[in-house]
Every structure is written in C-alpha cells, then in structure tokens.
Amino acid sequence: MEAIKTLIAYTGDNPYREGLRGTPDRVIRAYDEFFAGYHSTAAEVLKTTFAETGSYDEMVTLTDIEFDSHCEHHMVPFTGVVHIAYIPDKTVVGISKLARLVEIYARRLQIQEKMTTQIADKLHMVLKPKGVAVVIAGQHMCMTTRGVKKKRVKMITSTMTGVFREDPKVRSEFMNLIGNPKSGMEK
C-alpha cells in the first residue's frame, strides 16, 4: 500500500486527495489479476490428458488465444494473440487447457520470446507429441505509448519443436491455418 502511495506521489499527484484514496487498494487487486500466473503451475493445468482419441494423429490447432501480459522491462502491458498447434502421439489434452496454459505464462512479468518458448516446451514435455508450434503476435505498450512511440509495431515470435521444426510441409500447413499472424490483433 505504502509503495503505491509513493508511486502516486512520484507522478506529482497527491495520494491523499479524495479521488486517489482508494487507488492503492484497487491497484493491489489489479496486480493480483495481472500476475495470477505465479500462483498456478502448468503441471496442474495439464494433468488431465486423454489417450482415447480414435487414433487421431493429425494437427490440432487453436488460433487467436488472446492474452494480456506485462513486459518485465517497463512493467507495462503487452497484449495480443497466441496460436498453438501440436500433432499428438497417442495423448491429447482438453483444448481449454491450452488457453489456461497461455494464461499461466502471460500473467507474469514476461518477455515475448520467453513466453513463446515456455508454452511450447511445457506442451512438448507433458504431451510428448510429434511436435508443437507456438506463434505469438504481440503489441508492446512500452513501444507504442512511450520510448520510440511506434503505434503500429507488432512483434511476432515463434517456437517449433519436433516435426514442425523438421518438416517444412507441416510448418507451412500450420502457417496457412493461422493465416497472417498480424491479422488476429486488429479485432
């Protein structure tokens, strides 16, 4: 609470004026949401897997999973969409769990590259699929609202494992499915 009052005073405002009196408490509640990812683990989220898949062995793709994160350099938001695909090898996971996995890693202090790798590596470790692909398209407020102030800049990151890394045909099937990764962000 005191730390937030200090920050308000740093802006040049008076933390004791009426409009700001409730702010430290609100900021703490907002932080609890922004950084909830530190309080859950990927292992918990991915613990329910299914082996009965009717021998489905083609690509499973989830596109446009929205995320809200905070950059670890400036502690300001970066937001966008994550596209995830994997090719199962006997085991699949409930699709909502992929979105939950994104939440766990997004709701921390992050850089986009690390978030991309964390999602891909964890899925690869737990499902042991033939391959995993993760593409993230993000817009960083530290670049759009301050610093170089480039409003339209998007950062695209990708991590591929297994067949996505080895086989250009598999990779291009995934890329075709997700379309232009930038387009998901303008919704």
Ligand X SMILES: Nc1nc2c(ncn2[C@@H]2O[C@H](COP(=O)(O)OP(=O)(O)OP(=O)(O)O)[C@@H](O)[C@H]2O)c(=O)[nH]1
Task: Report how far residue 121's alpha carbon sits from residue 46's, in angstroms, rounded to the nearest whole number.
Answer: 13
Number of alpha helices (DSSP H) and beta strands (DSSP E) in the chain = 8, 7
Q: Which of 97, 122, 140, 171 is close enough to bind ligand X by CB under 6 A?
A: 140
Q: Which does 147 bind (CB under 5 to 8 A by kind): ligand X, Zn ion, none?
A: ligand X
Burial class of residue 61, CB neighbours in 10 A (0-12, 13-18, 19+): middle
Instruction: Point out the annotated binding site for Zn(2+).
Output: 71, 74, 142
Task: Report how far residue 18's alpha carbon sits from residue 21's, in angstroms, rounded to the nearest whole number.
Answer: 5
Residue 71 binding ligand X, by CB under 6 A = yes
Residues near 182 by beta carbon (within 8 Å), at least 6 away in sequence: 137, 154, 156
**CA distances, 135 to each of 50, 70, 153 (Å):** 24, 18, 16
Residue 119 binding ligand X, by CB under 6 A = no
Q: Which of 27, 62, 64, 74 is close enough to bind Zn ion by CB under 5 A?
A: 74
**By rule CB under 5 A, what string of x and - marks binding of each residue 121-160 to Zn ion?**
---------------------x------------------
User: Segment 85-114, which members bind ligand X (CB under 6 A)?
Assistant: 111-113
**By rule CB under 6 A, what string of x and - marks binding of each residue 163-182 to ligand X?**
--------------------
Backbone angles phi, psi at 134, to 5 degrees: -130, 125
In the bound state with ligand X, the residue whose beta carbon lies nearer, of 23 and 116, is 116
**CA distances, 178 to each of 8, 62, 89, 134, 172 (Å):** 42, 9, 22, 11, 10
Any idea which residues carry the catalytic annotation?
A: 71-74, 112, 140, 142
Q: Which residues bind Zn ion (CB under 5 A)?
A: 71, 73-74, 142
Q: Which residues bind ligand X (CB under 6 A)?
A: 71, 73, 111-113, 140, 142-143, 147-148
